[in-house]
Amino acid sequence: MRSNLLTKKEAETIYQAFCDFPIEYIDTPNLKKNAWFIAEKYQLLTLYDSVFLAVSEYTSAQFWTADYVLLKKLNPRPNSVYSLTDYPLQ
């Protein structure tokens, strides 16, 4: 809408579709503390990276990223963090 690429109606339709997405929100005090710990441990400039890392740790999920700067900061890199350049293509 701001770029005049969508009408207001189109933007509202897309937003409503987003709101209907089955997203599970995870929010615990320990998750927030762990995100802060990760940000400090790796000296991350943005908190959102550490939140994603904390969520992947909390859910035992793999964390795949193409963010080379982030990967470089994660030293030593957690076992659950992978570079998209390492993704096996078939």
Bridge partners for 52 per DSSP: none
CA 26 to centroid of chain Cα atoms: 12
pLDDT value of position 1: 52
Could you write out the three-class secondary structure of 27-74?
CCHHHHHHHHHHHHHCCCCCHHHHHHHHHHHHCCCCEEECCHHHHHHC
Reported as a single tens digit per residue, the pLDDT across 64-86 is 999 999 999 999 999 999 999 99
Question: What is the value of pTM for the model shown?
Answer: 0.74
Reported as a single tens digit per residue, the pLDDT across 11-41 is 999 999 999 999 888 888 899 999 999 999 9
